[in-house]
Each structure stands twice: as structure tokens, then as C-alpha cells.
A = this chain, B = another copy of it.
Amino acid sequence: MGQPKQERAVQTRLALMRAAAEVFDECGYTGAGINKILKRAGLTAGALYFHFGSKEGLAKAVMNAQQDTIEPLLDSRGLQRLVDITLVWSHQLAADPLLRAGVELSLGHEKFVDEAPFEGWRELMTGYLREARDLGELREGVDPEVVARFVVGACTGVQLYARQVDGRAGLPRRVTEMWDCLLPGIAAPGTAHTFDTGVARGKRLSRRTGTTGTGAGE
């Protein structure tokens, strides 16, 4: 029995993105030949151009797939959801080439000036922070959009610093430290300790997929 056409298309897209992510990871964006990506994916150039238009289009899809890798693993809400996103992200970066390639491309090494991945994360986080405010979890006067914008920037830099120091081995610990610094200032007075920011939580949530893979679409 053949697969429904739509499902096949989703799998083709994902196969191309995963192959591209692996090749970007190994060779960098500039060094990643289209033929190498196609060979890795076991697909034709026609599929690539149909789904992404160009190598740059494929790279942008990889950059923008970050949220789809994380969100399906979580069911918390409000401030704990915000914490969970960063905890799982810090763990999955080591295991998931698609996520890692997305983060690397977002750093703009390849003269891509594309703010879409940053702005996508900011919008997602702003939503959870508004939820947190409605749940009474935020300190009075805290602006969800300001905090979201800061957390996106902070995570970007914390992972970059960790990459330079120890190839990101210490990143989960650093993300926990980030929340140790931040929560007392943004959570309602006296509640910072009620949120679980531990490395163990990130590890546990990341295991929900049962794979070391990309989560999304599996």
C-alpha cells in the first residue's frame, strides 16, 4: 500500500532537512554541496527544488525547524513551559543534528541576515509569558515581550560561550544557572524556587521521544 501523498511529502521534506543538517554540521553551509545532501537523503534534485527552491531555502527551513523539535516534548505551561523549552533545547543540542544546524545557521556565520528564527522563538516565548502573567506567576511590572526578547538573546549567547569553552558539554548546567539568575527577578515574589530548573528535568523531558532524533514528525 502506498502512503498518502501528503504524508510522503512531509517525509521527503524532513529527510532533506535532516540530510542537510548533517552535511552543514560536517562541512559548514558554504562547503555543503547539494549533491552530497541529495546522496545522504537518497533523493533527487527535483525534490529539493520542489520543496525548498534552493540550498538557501533548505537552510532557512532547517533554521526555522527548531521549535518543532522541542515543543512536541512538552506539556507544561506558563513560566515552567518557558524554563522547559530552554532545558530541553540545551539537552537536545548535543543529540540532534537538525537542531544544532538550525542554531549554527542562526548565528549568521554565513552572512545570512535572517532574524526569523530569533523572532519565532521570541513570539513563542512571549505567548507563554503572557500565560504566566495570567496565571499570576510574574512579578508585577514584568513585561512578557521584554523578558522573551532577553531570554532568546541570552540563550543564544550562553550556548555560544559554552561551545567555545567545552563544545557545549556544560550547556545544560549553564541554562540552569541562567534561571537561577533570572527567576528571582521575574517570578512573583517568593515563588522562584517553585519552578524546576534542574538539569535532570531537561534530561527526563528530552527522553520522551525515546530516540536521539529530531522529535518532530516522528
Please tell me which one of the listed residues B108, B152, B160 contacts residue A153 in the complex, with CB atoms under 8 A apart. Answer: B160
A-B residue pairs, 8 tightest by C-beta: A157-B157, A185-B185, A156-B157, A184-B185, A153-B158, A154-B154, A153-B161, A109-B109
- The answer on a CB contact under 8 Å between B177 and A150 is yes
Chain A, interface residues (CB within 8 Å), range: 35 or more
A139 at the A/B interface (Cβ < 8 Å)? yes
| Residue interface bits A139-172, CB-to-B below 8 A is 1, else 0 | 1001000110110111111111111110000000
User: Which residues of A are in contact with B by a Cβ distance under 8 Å?
Assistant: 106-109, 113-115, 118-119, 139, 142, 146-147, 149-150, 152-165, 174, 177-178, 180-186, 192
- The answer on a CB contact under 8 Å between B149 and A177 is yes
Residues on the B chain within 8 Å of A158, using CB: 150, 153-154, 157
Given contacts A153-B174, A154-B154, A177-B149, contact A164 B109 (CB under 8 A): no
The A interface, classified by DSSP as helix, strand, loop or mixed, is helix
Q: Assembly of this chain: how many copies?
A: 2
Residues on the B chain within 8 Å of A174, using CB: 149-150, 153
Q: Given A149-B161, A154-B158, A155-B157, output 15 extra A-B contacts at Cβ < 8 Å.
A: A108-B109, A115-B164, A115-B165, A118-B165, A149-B174, A150-B174, A150-B181, A153-B157, A153-B159, A153-B174, A154-B178, A157-B160, A181-B182, A182-B182, A184-B185
